[in-house]
């Protein structure tokens, strides 16, 4: 019998473990494309918004530059994005999709739906979970947390 650690009582641990589990569920679908889950999220932003500054992408993904810069470098090396200095302000760097990055959208467009189907949640439960997680993130932002 496994002794309790108290972790199973903590909502923060359950969120952490669930996040890791979801990332692991995505891995088999992303590995054939040479993508990590975080790279996939960056591409999704670009697919939906078009060219985006590094600063804005970091804010949208809640990533600092120390994490975002190597991620973008790997995506650029793989040929999925290109970085361009701003024409009006050279401190600004925009991220653009390449043809390769755009083609990935066609292969991965229905991935969130496929992943949602692998969870043992009803549509209503999935919607409720999504709503609650958004509330937690919104509350933390109002309190000045990332």
Asked whether residue 1 is assigned to any structural domain, the reply reads no
pLDDT of residue 139: 81
Distance, CA of 103 to CA of 97 (rounded, Å): 10
pLDDT of residue 116: 81
Give the domain range for residue 72: 7-109
CATH code, domain with 15: 1.10.10.10
Asked whether residue 115 is assigned to any structural domain, the reply reads no
Asked whether residue 77 is assigned to any structural domain, the reply reads yes
pLDDT of residue 68: 94
pLDDT of residue 3: 65
Asked whether residue 128 is assigned to any structural domain, the reply reads no
pLDDT of residue 7: 83
Asked whether residue 29 is assigned to any structural domain, the reply reads yes
For 18, other C-beta atoms within 10 Å of its C-beta total 13
pLDDT of residue 45: 97
Asked whether residue 83 is assigned to any structural domain, the reply reads yes
Give the count of domains, the chain: 1
Helices 37-49, 11-30: axis angle to 10 degrees equals 80
Asked whether residue 41 is assigned to any structural domain, the reply reads yes
pLDDT along the chain (146 residues), means of 10: 74 91 93 96 96 94 92 97 85 93 94 85 90 85 59
Asked whether residue 99 is assigned to any structural domain, the reply reads yes
Distance, CA of 73 to CA of 19 (rounded, Å): 25
pLDDT of residue 90: 76
Identify which of 52, 86, 58, 84 has the alpha carbon closest to the alpha carbon of residue 71.
58
pLDDT of residue 89: 77
């Amino acid at each position: 019998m496994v002794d309790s650690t108290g972790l199973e009582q903590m909502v923060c641990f359950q969120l952490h473990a669930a996040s890791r589990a979801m990332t692991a569920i995505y891995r088999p679908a992303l590995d054939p494309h040479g993508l990590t889950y975080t790279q996939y999220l960056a591409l999704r932003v670009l697919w939906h918004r078009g060219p985006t500054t590094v600063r804005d992408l970091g804010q949208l993904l809640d990533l600092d530059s120390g994490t975002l810069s190597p991620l973008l470098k790997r995506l650029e090396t793989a040929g999925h994005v290109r970085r361009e200095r701003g024409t009006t302000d050279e401190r600004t760097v925009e991220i653009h999709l390449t043809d390769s990055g755009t083609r990935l959208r066609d292969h991965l467009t229905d991935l969130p739906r496929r992943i949602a189907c692998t969870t043992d949640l009803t549509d209503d439960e999935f919607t409720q979970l999504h709503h609650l997680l958004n509330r937690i993130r919104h509350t933390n932002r109002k309190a000045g947390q990332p």
